Structure 1
Amino acid sequence: MTIKSIREEFPVLNQEVNGHPLVYLDSAATSQKPISVIESMDAYYRNHNSNVHRGVHTLGTRATDQYEGAREKVKQFINARSTAEVIFTRGTTTALNMVAYGYARHFLKEGDEIALTQMEHHSNIIPWQQVAKYTGATLKYIPMEEDGTITLDSVRSAVSDNTKMVAMTHVSNVLGTINPIKEVAKIAHEHGAIIVVDGAQGIPHMQVDVQDLDCDFYAFSGHKMCGPTGVGVLYGKKAILEKMEPVEFGGEMIDFVDLYDSTWKELPWKFEGGTPIIAGAIGLGAAIDFLSEFGMDNIAEHEQKITKYAQEKLSEVDGITIYGPKERGGLVTFNIDGVHPHDTATVLDAEGIAVRAGHHCAQPLMKWLDVTATARASFYLYNDESDVDRLVEGIRRAKEYFGDVI
């Protein structure tokens, strides 16, 4: 398929913003949604709307089949061993908090260590801060190299027999750094630790095989991978999930309720209390179908091509600082000398170009970079080199405008 035909699958992209054709370069914040995803959720509400698991009537059966069918699609997409290892959540943040409150707070104690990096999103820092305060465990940060990467030697130095958890992003949402999860997991397991992976920026852009990575938990969101907002997944190894405690209690997740005690359903339903995110899960399943048609390796190759082109073109513009390693995921984070990134983003928006500006929920990383904020252009399967050309042109306009002001 051509980029033109791909873009036609995304209704929101076919519009003008401020009198210019929209160039959407903010997929790291949220991706756009193809027609097939929108229609799958519409069809559920129009034709099959019912609660799942509880009813024996026809609509209830249809809804349950679609909901559990989506779980099967996730299982195959990430190569989990069983659907029991696939838990639907509200997103990456909820999934990571489930691990923090359902596992870490019960099994960590004073003297234990949680290893993580300064490139983590707040969602993969704050839960572990809270665990440390509750249990007496301590946080230990793996040193980063000047280009924003980590080395396995640094991981080996930071991870010890006192380390009980390693929490790491698969791909940095600021630097684009792709972390060596498989190798880090091996080091963690050699010390008896488990590894929790924030996959929010990984799974939309590359093939993820959780068995090959040998990660203990992998969390991701639907809305960054062409799916709807409000739905995500926590993958966990079955043996660990069985030891975990639920963090929400109520209907649907119970087996038997007495006046003074209750028992839980088997996996994965013991973690899905209340009416689940039915339409969201169905939409996520449709998104997986859509991405699978292209092939994740093809999407990764396409993004790498655009990202390298963007790095080259931006490097040709004087007064631009680009952050992160040469080899990276599909984004470029930058600043124009003397211009606040919010101002950069405002000028670009006037040209119909959508980028993200701010600290990107990564304030410790901003401190490490010695900046308060950055601008970020992120790419997906519906972007091409012409979008980068528009971005560079917009940046040149911003430089001209603020050069006059300054």
Structure 2
Amino acid sequence: MLHKLPTELLCVVLKHLCYDDLDELHKISGLEPIVRHHLLRHYRFHYQVSSLLRIFESSCETEERRDNIANQLLDLICHAVEKCPKYDHRNKFSDLLNILETTVVKRILAHDIMPHVEDEYALLCLDIRYKYLHQPSIRVLHDPKYRRRSTKYPLAPFLPREYTWVWRRQCANAADSLYNSKRNKLLMAPVKDKDRRQSRIRFARFFGQLFKVTSLYLESNLDGTFEECVREALVIGDVESLLVMCAAAERPVDVMHMCMMVNMAAEQLWTYLETFDDWLATNPTPEQRARIELNEQAQQQRQQNMQEELPPPEWLLPDRYKVADDTKLRLTVRGKKGSLIFNSKCVCQVELTCSFVLTTIS
């Protein structure tokens, strides 16, 4: 229907669409010229990044080709940043890098991606990170004071902390799928759940390889560390993604150590909460004092309105920090029930439950 509209009216319609919708319309042959012109005018960087990634997926898996694509992606960002005023370099670089990172993860989760491309994407992201860290001319565009700045919270492309929210969402989806399959007593998951599982496994393999340390300080005192992601998967119960991530990151799987991490996190939380009142009474910070006043006002308002108190947040519930016995059982490898093999190709084969039969992940 859209290709029957006049060009002027079609351009008005395209202005109200986001890039993802325009990218889908670009695949229609009749609309391709007009949509491409609109993309180059309003979403040039998005279009150039997506085009390079499509070329990367269709090209041969060679180190030379991967190195060439990595250089082109960094050149796109640097050329766009250099055109901006110097005081805006850091924000512009961060915005463009965020677009690149978001586009990559969308391709990893897409259903039309070719098999085993997630490994090539991980190598591409590590190449971009390596080039960024070892070329001062690129780093200075992102952070002019990077030589004098504290390295506690470094800036670099494709750090695992940028994708931690995706990891949490994928683990939650896996837990929901497993719960639904048990409730319906189905031996095979529906086609939709199967596609979700494949995309989840692809992301786990990609995500695990990003934990390769390319600098001495990248994983010190940061959000999104490997241990944090392990705790998230354990608490939710997504054993399959956890094992795939560990295999891709070449980390050992110690069931008791993993469960101990969750118990220690719970103990630290409750120790902090027990001493929290003492800290507030003796020397509260200005932020804590303002928060106390807001809570008192909210409590008075609730008493006046006779409203029921809201339940505590999820992170404060005791059950949040309990690893289910079912999770431990599925992690423990015994005899014919499952085997975990670590090698250069990160092959992982696990059978989770009788209602959720897994195939070999290669």
What is the TM-score when the length of structure 2 is the normalising length?
0.24
User: Quick one: higher RCO (CA 8 Å, sep 6+), 1 or 2?
Assistant: 1
> Which protein has the bigger strand share?
1
Q: Higher helix share goes to which structure?
A: 2
TM-score under structure 1 length normalisation: 0.22
Greater C-alpha Rg = 2
